[in-house]
Amino acid sequence: MLEVREISRAFGRLKAVEGVTLSVMKNQIRGLIGPNGSGKSTTMNLISGSLKPSAGKIELEGQRIEGKEPHRIARLGLIRTFQLTRVFTSGTLLDAVALGVRAASGSPWSPARWIPAGDQAEVNHAALVALERMGLAHRANELAGSLPGGLRRILTIATALAAKPKIMLLDEPLAGLNATEKAEVANRIEKLRTDDVSILLVEHDMRSVMRLCDRITVLNFGQVIAEGTPAEIGRHPDVIKAYLGQKRVRDA
């Protein structure tokens, strides 16, 4: 599905990401973890196109995507979410998700697209399906701006889902949520996999990472220091030393 090979990126003298290799198989949830500043966010930005890698290659279903503009990568089926919750808040939940549905449609330069096309019902239906999959359909007509934090996080995923991703990059979807909200969002993420969406998950909440992920890649100082199943990662001495410190993952 997604193959990242030896990508690197430096900011001045700082090598933020150096020779990172990872892959996400179809219907897999791949975790990407590491201490603060280990290069997780840079890696996400390199894959999604917000940053251009200085070396290495990235393939999405066999197609090279490194260095492409973010919207082109998104149209190929790789949709990311952001660490700081980003949602369209000017309308209802349905309006917000409908923009995800519309995102990939036709060229804006065609004057035929400058007049209402009467496709609103169709778009709304697709948006409602995405909301339903994330359990938000019953609030479709509420204002997106008035949604509490945890649900807002789910709304970002619903919006991304409406853009028909083959793979989603979720950047700390559980950060800042309380325990109930975390469990709710984690459950929704787990369900996505069964709906044919592969996931690359950056997350700090170890319990959720261990539970959700099929395989985990660990970064430190911009390099991959370990890769394996959650159980293997939990036992890995370098991981314990570098990242988990005294936290006893073995018990997790």
Partner 1 sequence: MMGALHRDIATIIIVGLALVVGGLVGTPYILGVLIIFGMVSILVLSYRTITTMGGWSFAHVAIMGIGGYSVAIFSKAPFEVPVLVAVALGGVFAALFAAILSWPVLRTRQYYFFLSTFAAGEALRQCFIQIKEITGGTAGIAFIARPGILPDPSSAFQFLWLVAVILVLLGLFYAALDASDTGKKIKAVGEDEALSSSLGIDAWALRALGFILGSFGAGIAGGLFASYNGIMSPSDINAMLMFKIVAACVIGGTARFSGPLLGLLFLTLIEEIFRFVPEFVPMIWGALVIAAIILSQRAGGGLKLRKVINA
- Per CB under 8 A, residues contacting partner 1 are 48, 50, 69-71, 74-75, 79-82, 86-90, 98-100, 102-109, 113-117, 119-120, 159-160, 163
Contact 199, 189 (CB under 8 A): yes
Beta bridge partners of 31: 201, 216
Q: Return the number of other C-beta atoms located less than 10 Å from residue 146's C-beta.
A: 12
C-beta of 195: minimal distance to partner 1 in Å? 18
Q: Got the DSSP string for 73-99?
A: HHHTTEEE--SS-----SSBHHHHHHH
Q: How far apart are CA 135 and CA 147, in angstroms?
A: 14
Q: Please, which residue, 62 or 114, has the CB nearer to partner 1?
A: 114
> Looking at beta carbons only, is 15 or 166 nearer to partner 1?
166
CB of 110 to partner 1, least distance (A): 8
Residue with smaller CB distance to partner 1, 25 or 117: 117
- Identify how many contiguous H helices and E strands the chain contains and give both numbers: 9, 10
Report yes or no: 216 and 33 within 8 Å, Cβ to Cβ.
yes
- To partner 1, the closest distance from the beta carbon of 233 in angstroms equals 28
38 versus 92: smaller Cβ distance to partner 1: 92
Min CB(24)–partner 1 separation in Å: 17
Residue number, 113 or 191, with CB nearest to partner 1 = 113
CA angle at residue 204 from 48 to 162, to 5 degrees? 40
CB of 192 to partner 1, least distance (A): 16
Under 8 Å CB-to-CB from 16, ≥6 apart: which residues?
9, 10, 39, 42, 222
Q: How far is the CB of 37 from partner 1 (least distance, A)?
A: 21
173 and 203 Cβ atoms separated by less than 8 Å: yes
Q: Which lies closer to partner 1 via its Cβ, residue 64 or residue 72?
A: 72
